[in-house]
């Protein structure tokens, strides 16, 4: 595996964790618990953004899949501030 594949896996894993945290927050009844989970997801998202700025993933190679399909899990939703 190349370093870019490892970085991509790292970012994808964090994205899945963020999505999972937001999903658990939506299931909570306690507003304090919701805020804690959404804050944790926010900080993981900030870590992803910081890592991507410091170590951008290189452009796709010629033999890479260019079907344009979305990554599993879809987009990460921002925390709601209710």
| β strands within 1-82, DSSP E | none
Does residue 82 register a pLDDT over 50? yes
Please answer whether residues 51 and 11 qualify as being in contact, where contact means their C-beta atoms are separated by less than 8 angstroms. Answer: yes
What global pTM score does this model have?
0.58
Closest CA to 18 of 81, 56, 60, 74: 74
Task: Dump pLDDT digits (tens) for 27-59.
Answer: 999 999 999 999 999 998 888 788 778 877 665
Helix residue spans in 1-82 (DSSP H)? 3-27, 31-54
Compute the distance between CA of residue 41 and CA of residue 5 in angstroms, rounded to an integer. 23
Please answer whether residues 63 and 9 qualify as being in contact, where contact means their C-beta atoms are separated by less than 8 angstroms. Answer: no
pLDDT (0 to 100) of residue 80? 62
- In the structure encoding, which two tokens stand for residue 6, read together? 């490892």
Compute the distance between CA of residue 2 and CA of residue 82 in angstroms, rounded to an integer. 42
pLDDT (0 to 100) of residue 72? 45
């Amino acid at each position: 595996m190349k370093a870019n594949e490892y970085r991509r896996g790292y970012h994808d894993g964090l994205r899945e964790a963020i999505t999972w945290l937001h999903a658990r927050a939506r299931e909570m009844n306690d507003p304090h618990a919701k805020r804690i989970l959404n804050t944790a997801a926010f900080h993981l998202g900030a870590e992803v953004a910081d890592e991507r700025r410091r170590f951008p993933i290189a452009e796709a190679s010629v033999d890479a899949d260019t079907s344009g399909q979305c990554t599993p899990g879809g987009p990460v939703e921002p925390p709601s501030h209710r």
